[in-house]
Amino acid sequence: MEGGPPVTEKLDRVVVRFAGDSGDGMQLTGDRFTTASALLGNDLATFPDYPAEIRAPAGTLGGVSAFQVHISDHDISTHGDSPNVLVAMNPAGLKASIDMMEHGTVVIVNIDSFDERSLAKAGYAQSPLTDGSLHDYDVYEVPMTSLTQEVCKEVGVKPRDAERSKNFFALGLVSWLFTRPIEGTLAWIDEKFKKNELVAEANRRAFRAGFDFGETAELFHVRYEVTPAPFKGGEYVNITGNTALAWGLIAAAERSGLSLFLGSYPITPASDILHELSKRKEFGVRTFQAEDEIAGIGSALGAAYGGALGVTTTSGPGLDLKAEMIGLAISLELPLIIVDVQRAGPSTGLPTKTEQSDLLQALYGRHGESPLPVVAASTPAQCFDAAIEAARIAVTYRTPVILLSDAYLANGSEPWLIPDVDDLPSFSPDFADGPNAVDPEGSPTFLPYLRDPITMARPWAPPGAIGLEHRIGGLEKAVDAGSVSYDGANHEAMSMVRKERIAHIATDIPATALDDPSGSAKVCVVGWGSTYGALNAGVERVRAAGGEAAHVHLMHLNPLPADLGEVLSAYDTVLVPELNLGQLVTVLRATYLIDAIPLSKVRGVPFKAAEIEAAILSAIGETR
């Protein structure tokens, strides 16, 4: 490689992937690189990709933990189809990621970990660094472990502990490579490790050593610069879906004057919502780690009955357990939010991998005729709005609402424009405070199932109000009166009311947001949930190449926007990409009698923009 100072090359976007062992601190490294880039003003999207085991056997493919971040100088919506730069801390990290890389891209390896044992553990018979298999990549071999140990010698930490700072060396090197300022990261290290000054010092030294290595080793002949993206003015934070969702719930409680109660049982990838809410007691948030998922939702329903904003959070297996209680909530007509952070199933499935395969369960997964509203979040930051919307519907219409997120949204992050609190939606619980009818003798009385003529919602009458004492339960209730009724005609009337009152919510949600700039596209891509980024990017690619495609992304899955059938029937082809085997597409076909076609993927990872682009192009080809 030629000498001389490196030149700085400007890139409009770059995808960096950190891959190493679960114990190598890749999530922390990626996260910090992300924050540094966010502070620099880049747009970004992240994708943490980690194994189900906390510490799978070290050095194996199963134990690889990776963090991918896409940074750019313009608006982006995905974590990037394939990395431009891979930092591989060990052979397994390399092996697990190399197939994602296109030829000519940059691979930086920690050469110290490419010994025979580690190669064997990763399943390499020969070193890929010497057998020519990486011939088409721009490979940099950096002795990260030994250089880290070297600079940490004087700190007084043991060599084994010093070795653990090598991810900071990698962070320093990548920070140099992408011309990220170092001050912020040094300050962050001080803060993060303030409880252990030795470790803080080791990390600082390793970080600086990595940065200086880039500068002085004359190994790299280019550095890259990604300039700020043109963001709308305002204050931003980088936020994950789980944090945004938790904050949305707090905001919903604040904006409705309700106190927030979360009943939950830990499960990946939903637990961080429980963790986040548990920290926020100054908002009056009560969090309850229940004995199981049934008690999680049971306690939330009990809190809702008492007049709180009741929430339960879970993932697929937990949603299975909650089904019966959701049915009770439907029968009791009480506000309740059930958050399902979807992961690949069935059963334990792939606990840390993303999938959208709970849609039909959310819509239909209960016995009896038991409709409820379903709302889905589309990006990490949008989890905030989706949570408020779920709460608004639940409270206004006195109904359980299922809010769908997934593993990709939960852990992925993006910049979020901090909203002005006064601009957030507000809604009122409007508790019953007195009798709402007169009995045959002419005295005032309270009928717990007498409905509001506009919302079709029944009164919410928590205990405590004098004269409103009443009994409710899961047995069928008489229309209006709410007393037990075994009458068949009454049951049919109540079933119709339950159906219509949920369908009626369509009058209170936005019309279909159709993205079809030319108005003459023949193919419309319809998605929901976390595929928003990939669909958006795929459609943009088609348009950039002169093609035409429309995009509809649904936040309300039940009821669907009132005009959706009409909107979709205008297209020759309706393409429905989903990370499942065709669930929304089934609903659209059944509901609108349109020949919508599925595009399915269940590999535990999101769609790539290129996959969507290809599917659109092939659909366009067929419409000609």
Partner 1 sequence: MTSVEVPLTTRKDWSSDQEVRWCPGCGDYNILAAIQMMMPDLGVRREKTVFVSGIGCASRFPYYMNTYGVHSIHGRAPSIATGLAATRPDLDVWVICGDGDALSIGGNHFIHALRRNIRLNILVFNNQIYGLTKGQYSPTSETGKVTKSTPFGSIDQPFNPISLAIGAEASFVARTHDMDRAHMQATFTQAHAHDGAAFVEVYQNCNVFNDGAFESITGKANRSSMLIPLVHGEPIRFGEDGERGVIQRTDGHLEIVEVSDVGEDAILRHNAHAEDPGLAFALSRLSRGVHDPTPIGVFRSVDRQEYGAQMTHQVDEATAARGKGDLAQLFRSATSWTVD
Q: How far is the CB of 191 from partner 1 (least distance, A)?
A: 10
Q: Angle, to 10 degrees, between the axis of helix 144-152 and the axis of helix 166-177?
A: 110
Which CB atom, from 171 or from 575, has the smaller least distance to partner 1?
171
By CB under 8 A, residue 444 contacts partner 1: no
Both structure tokens of 112 = 């110290």
User: Do 198 and 157 contact (CB within 8 A), yes or no?
Assistant: yes
Tell me how far, at minimum, the Cβ of 473 lies from partner 1, in Å.
3
Within positions 41 to 80, which residues make up the interface with partner 1, using CB under 8 A? 41
Indicate whether 425 belongs to the interface with partner 1 (CB under 8 A).
no
Query: Toward partner 1, which CB reaches closer, 140 or 288?
Result: 288
- Of residues 313 and 580, the one with the C-beta less far from partner 1: 313
- Give φ, ψ of 553 to 5 degrees: -120, 120
Distance CA 151, CA 196 (A): 18
Please give the single-letter amino acid code of residue 149.
Answer: Q
Cis peptide bond N-terminal to 351, omega within 30 = no
Nearer to partner 1, 149 or 238 (CB): 238
- Asked if 57 and 76 touch (Cβ cutoff 8 Å), the reply is no
Q: What are phi and psi of 188, to 5 degrees?
A: -65, -40
Length of the chain (residues): 624
Question: Any alpha helices (H) in 399-453, and if so which ranges?
Answer: 407-411
- Joined together, the tokens standing for residue 30 give 């990626």
Angle 241-256/271-278 helices, nearest 10 degrees?
50
The smaller minimum CB distance to partner 1, of residues 234 and 517, is found at 234
Q: How far is the CB of 579 from partner 1 (least distance, A)?
A: 28
Is 236 or 592 the residue whose CB approaches partner 1 more closely?
Answer: 236
If one asks whether residue 317 binds partner 1 (CB under 8 A), the answer comes out as: no
471, with CB counted inside 10 A (0-12, 13-18, 19+), is exposed
- Pick from 103, 160, 471, 624: which binds partner 1 (CB under 8 A)? 471
Q: Does 23 bind partner 1 (CB under 8 A)?
A: no
**Cβ atoms of 66 and 4 closer than 8 Å:** no
Measured from the CB of residue 309, what is the shortest distance to partner 1 in angstroms?
10
Residue 226 in contact with partner 1, rule: CB under 8 A: no
603 contacts partner 1 (rule: CB under 8 A)? no
Q: Pick from 57, 156, 181, 234 the residue near partner 1 by CB under 8 A.
A: 234
Quote the DSSP letter at residue 86: E
SS3 assignment, position 218: coil
- Cα–Cα distance for residue pair 194/199, rounded to 1 Å: 9
Report the residue number, 257 or 474, with the smaller CB distance to partner 1.
474
Nearest-approach distance from CB 266 to partner 1, in angstroms: 15
Among 280, 451, 522, 543, binds partner 1 (CB under 8 A): 280
Judging by beta carbons within 10 Å of its beta carbon (0-12, 13-18, 19+), is residue 337 exposed, middle or buried? buried
Which CB sits closer to partner 1, 23 or 435?
A: 435
Least distance (Å) from partner 1 to the CB of residue 336?
Answer: 10
Residue 100 or 285 having the CB closest to partner 1: 285
C-beta of 94 vs 381, nearer to partner 1? 381
Does 381 help bind partner 1 (rule: CB under 8 A)? no
Identify the bridge partners of residue 9 per DSSP, sorted by sequence position: 224
By CB under 8 A, residue 171 contacts partner 1: no
Q: Does 328 bind partner 1 (CB under 8 A)?
A: yes
Burial class of residue 374 in the structure, from the number of CB atoms within 10 Å of its CB (0-12 exposed, 13-18 middle, 19+ buried): buried
Q: From CA 201, how far away is CA 193, in angstroms rounded?
A: 9
Backbone φ, ψ for residue 563 (5° rounding) = -95, 5
Residue 236 near partner 1 by CB under 8 A:
yes
Q: Which of 6, 306, 365, 435 binds partner 1 (CB under 8 A)?
A: 306
Residue nearer to partner 1 on the CB measure, 224 or 261? 261
Examine residue 119 and tell whether it contacts partner 1 (CB under 8 A). no
From 161, 215, 225, 254, residue interacting with partner 1 (rule: CB under 8 A): 254
For partner 1, which residue of 147, 472, 502, 549 counts as binding (CB under 8 A)?
Answer: 472
Among 123, 181, 464, 510, binds partner 1 (CB under 8 A): 464
CB of 533 to partner 1, least distance (A): 21
Backbone angles phi, psi at 481, to 5 degrees: -70, -35
CA proximity to 313, closest of 345, 332, 286, 289:
289
Binding partner 1 (rule: CB under 8 A), the pick from 3, 5, 233, 453 is 233
Q: Which of residues 480-499 bind partner 1 (CB under 8 A)?
A: 483-484
